[in-house]
């Protein structure tokens, strides 16, 4: 069964306030959109994810190399339609349509939606209304309503792709609250599956704190360490943390011998219990001869993201007498930030000498240590 997900992220988040649309604001260090994309793309049944961005936000696409990007419209249903069109050339069997503003969606809830599609063209999560319902005008209650049979709708809302695509294409009734409304207007049967209180939609300013409190209860924190050494050989520069640094020698290695980036890549693999760089990129493979090490680091960072982890911070220590690292540390942090997609203020690059002791002290090579911390809500 081919299952795709569409994450609509083209809204402006006006009710949430703040300087940035809500999907670009942070929860526990990673952006709301990072959590949501990770939650969907790490689900084993979901093969493809489409992220629908506002035209002003297309610059963010580079931070999501593993997803298909589409450009959204002025309303939620126009954005969903853009996501469906992006899948139309190679249509999946099922599609799950999700709000970027619901970053705490669980794998179990996604499983329930998929299971609900076994006997129905649509399936969507919801919670039965448990509070009493009133009508009101100003500050006065004007009436009461029976809550029996009323539900609070959530996402992801799942559908047979062909059915919801036809429903969206044929929809003429103006903006709809959600895809269930569009499906039902087209006569599709939609099953209700159990939603979760945890699957809140970040809507108002107070919802960021609520989401962080919920995340804190189940946070999975992992650390990994990496260590690497490369010997000097004749040359006129070394590559350290992606930055060429003039020197009277080069570092010797199968790839570009970027000892700092290798240590950091191993730290991320270590946190994931995913072996080391040599397992993923064997030195015996001629494809990696002279390779720029950003390939390795990007792979490790994407692996972390695809497993639902955000990189909370990294700390790299270079051990050498020469060259001096301080003047280049800012450029190194910026380069590591660019490759990993995390903020430079979560990346530390520092250096120490070994007081002229040992192989680094004798200037036979450079060593590097790295630590990485990954978090999953
Ligand atoms: N033109 C739009 C409007 C909304 N959405 C998406 O639809 C989801 C649910 O909408 P809502 O929570 O209302 O988000 P915003 O429209 O961003 O918020 P607001 O109404 O406060 O501006 C969000 O993931 C939002 O990004 C979208 O992709 N395109
Ligand atoms: C689709 C939805 O998440 C269901 O609860 C919701 O309708 C979308 O958000 P909005 O606040 O209604 O725009």
Look at residues 215, 231, 251 and tell me which one is the last residue of a structural domain. Answer: 215
Residues 202 and 267 in one domain: no
What pLDDT score does 371 carry?
A: 98
What's the gap in Å between 341 CA and the centre of ligand 1? 24
Ligand nearest to the CA of 50: 1
DSSP 9-27: E----GGG-SSS-GGGSEE
Residues 197 and 322 placed together within one structural domain of the fold: no
Ligand 1 centroid distance, CA of 133 (Å): 25
Determine the atom of ligand 1 nearest the C-alpha atom of 9: 26
Q: Give the pLDDT band of residue 333 (cuts 50, 70, 90).
A: very high
Could you tell me the CA-to-CA distances from 152 to 16, 197, 213 in Å, in that order?
Answer: 20, 10, 21
For residue 239, list its beta bridge partners. Answer: 244
Buried b (16+ CB within 10 A) or exposed e, 126-138: beeeeeeeeeeee
Residue 277: name the closest of 228, 348, 320, 347 by CA.
228
Confidence of residue 343 (pLDDT cuts 50, 70, 90): confident
Say whether both 159 and 271 belong to one domain. no
Between the alpha carbon of residue 343 and those of residues 142, 234, 337, 350, the distances in Å are: 51, 35, 6, 17
Distance CA 128, CA 151 (A): 4
By percentage, how much of the chain surpasses pLDDT 70? 100
- Whether residue 240 is found in the same domain as residue 298: yes
Residues 29 and 65 occupy one common structural domain? yes
Angle at the Cα of 61 from the Cα atoms of 98 and 78, rounded to 5 degrees: 45
Question: Residue 288's pLDDT band (boundaries 50, 70, 90)?
Answer: confident
Does residue 308 come out as left (phi exceeding 0), alpha (psi in the -120 to 50 range) or beta?
A: left
What is the reported pLDDT for 65?
84
Q: How far is the CA of 12 from the centre of ligand 1 (A)?
A: 6
Residues with CB under 6 Å of ligand 1 are: 8-16, 23, 52, 72-76, 79, 99-101, 201, 203
What's the pLDDT at 348?
97
Lining residues, ligand 2, CB within 6 Å? 76, 99, 153-155, 177-178, 201, 203
For the stretch 90-100, pLDDT in tens is 999 999 999 99
What are the two backbone dihedrals, phi and then psi, of residue 70, each rounded to the nearest 5 degrees? -130, 160
Amino acid 332: pLDDT? 98
Which domain range does residue 368 map to? 220-376
CA 32 to chain CA centroid, Å, is 8
Same domain, 299 and 255: yes
Rounded to whole angstroms, the Cα distance separating 321 from 361 reads 6
Q: What is the DSSP string of 250-310?
A: EE--SS---HHHHHHHHHHHHHTT---HHHHS-TT-GGGTT--THHHHHHHHHHHHHTT-E
End position of a domain, from candidates 165, 187, 215: 215
Q: Is the pLDDT of residue 15 over 80?
A: yes
- Same domain for 370 and 300, yes or no, is yes
Among 197, 215, 233, the domain-final residue is 215
Find tokens 């649309």 and name the residue: 21
Residues 314 and 362 reside in one and the same domain = yes
- ipTM, two decimals, is 0.94
Q: Does 79 share its domain with 123? A: yes
For residues 341 and 114, the model is more confident at: 114
| Total number of domains constituting the chain | 2
Q: What is the CA radius of gyration of the chain?
A: 25
pLDDT for 11 beyond 90: yes
pLDDT above 80 (res 326) = yes
Same domain, 137 and 265: no
Which residue has its alpha carbon closest to ligand 1 atom 5? 11
Q: Which one, of 202, 205, 204, 166, lies nearest residue 183 by Cα?
A: 166
145-200 pLDDT tens trace: 999 999 999 999 999 999 999 999 999 877 899 999 999 999 999 999 999 999 99
- Per-residue pLDDT at 239: 97
In this predicted model, what pLDDT tens digit does every residue of 273-283 receive, in sequence order?
Answer: 999 999 999 98
| Vertex 155: Cα angle to 7 and 57 (nearest 5) | 25
In a shared domain, residues 256 and 328: yes
Q: Determine the average pLDDT of the residues in 126-151.
A: 96
We report the CATH number of the domain holding residue 313 as 3.30.1330.50
- Which among 296, 297, 310 is positioned nearest to 374, based on CA atoms? 310
Instruction: State if pTM tops 0.95.
Output: no
Q: 186 with 267, same domain?
A: no
Q: Which residues, in sequence order, are CB contacts of 231 under 8 Å at separation 6+?
A: 251, 252, 364, 365
């Amino acid at each position: 069964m081919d299952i795709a997900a569409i994450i609509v992220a083209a809204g402006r988040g006006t009710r949430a306030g703040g300087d940035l649309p809500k999907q670009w604001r942070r929860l526990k260090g990673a952006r709301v959109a990072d959590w949501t994309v990770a939650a969907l793309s790490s689900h084993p049944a979901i093969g493809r994810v489409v992220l629908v961005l506002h035209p002003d936000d297309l610059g963010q696409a580079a931070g999501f190399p593993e997803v298909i990007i589409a450009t959204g419209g002025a309303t939620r249903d126009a954005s969903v339609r853009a996501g469906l069109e992006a899948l139309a050339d190679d249509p999946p069997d099922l599609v799950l349509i999700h709000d970027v503003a619901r970053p705490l969606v669980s794998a179990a809830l996604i499983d329930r939606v998929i299971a609900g599609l076994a006997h129905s063209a649509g399936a969507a999560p919801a919670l039965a209304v448990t509070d009493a319902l009133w009508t009101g005008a100003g500050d006065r209650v004007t009436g009461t309503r029976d809550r029996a049979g009323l539900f609070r709708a959530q996402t992801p809302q799942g559908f047979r792709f062909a059915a919801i695509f036809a429903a969206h294409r044929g929809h003429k009734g103006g903006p709809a609250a959600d895809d269930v409304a569009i499906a039902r207007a087209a006569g599709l049967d939609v099953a209700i599956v159990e939603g979760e209180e945890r699957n809140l939609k970040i809507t108002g300013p107070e919802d960021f704190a609520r989401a962080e409190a919920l995340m804190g209860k189940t946070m999975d924190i992992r650390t990994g360490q990496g260590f690497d050494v490369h010997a000097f050989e004749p040359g006129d520069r070394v590559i350290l943390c992606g930055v060429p640094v003039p020197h009277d020698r080069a570092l010797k290695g199968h790839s570009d011998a970027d000892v700092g980036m290798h240590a950091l890549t191993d730290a991320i693999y270590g946190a994931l219990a995913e072996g080391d760089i040599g397992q993923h990129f064997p030195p015996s493979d001629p494809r990696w001869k002279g390779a720029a090490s950003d390939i390795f680091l990007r792979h490790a960072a994407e692996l972390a993201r695809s497993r639902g982890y955000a990189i909370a911070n990294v700390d790299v220590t270079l051990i050498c007498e020469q060259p001096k690292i301080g003047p280049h540390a800012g450029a190194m942090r910026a380069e590591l930030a660019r490759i990993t997609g995390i903020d430079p203020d979560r990346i530390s690059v520092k250096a120490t000498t070994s007081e002229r002791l040992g192989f680094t002290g004798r200037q036979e090579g450079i060593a590097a240590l790295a630590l990485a911390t990954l978090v999953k809500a």
